[in-house]
Structure 1
Amino acid sequence: MNTPKAEVAKFLSSLPDNASYEDIQYHLYVIEKIRRGAERVETEDALSHEEAKKRLSRWLTN
């Protein structure tokens, strides 16, 4: 597993040279939210995609 510092370094190298501080902050925010969500799926009960579709079907229209 990569350290947060290594992950950020890799991420920064992938951004264009004209990326603003706001761009960097936003992307780091999104990456962290995705990481936390993935951790929650592993540690807590999560619905399968099919179960979620079944529960939401009354609000979703095809």
Structure 2
Amino acid sequence: MNTAITEVKSLLERLPEDSTYEDIQYHLYVVEKIRRGIGRAEVEGTLSQDDVELKFGQWHTK
């Protein structure tokens, strides 16, 4: 398992040299959101495409 420092170093190596602090913050934010989403999916499970379409179909008014 990678440590946070290892992951940040890897991210920094992939970003362009002219990246701003804001660019770096944004990419760190996205990586953390993805990690949390994957963790949540592992704990709570996921929905199939059909299930999602059914749920959204109930909200959609014709």
State the TM-score, normalized to the length of structure 2. Answer: 0.83
Count of residue correspondences = 61
For 2:49 and 2:38, locate their aligned partners in 1 and report how far apart those are by CA, in whole Å: 14
Give the match for residue 36 of structure 1. Answer: 36
For 1:49 and 1:13, locate their aligned partners in 2 and report how far apart those are by CA, in whole Å: 36
- Pair 1:47 & 2:47 matched: yes
Give the match for residue 18 of structure 1. Answer: 18
State the TM-score, normalized to the length of structure 1. Answer: 0.83
Q: CA deviation at 1:40?
A: 0.3
Q: CA deviation at 1:2?
A: 1.2
Residue identity in the other structure for 2:32: E
For 2:35 and 2:22, locate their aligned partners in 1 and report how far apart those are by CA, in whole Å: 20
Q: CA deviation at 1:19?
A: 0.2
Structure 2: gaps of 5 or more residues: none
Give the match for residue 2 of structure 2. Answer: 2
Question: Which deviates more from structure 2 when the two are superposed, residues 29-38 or residues 49-58?
Answer: 49-58
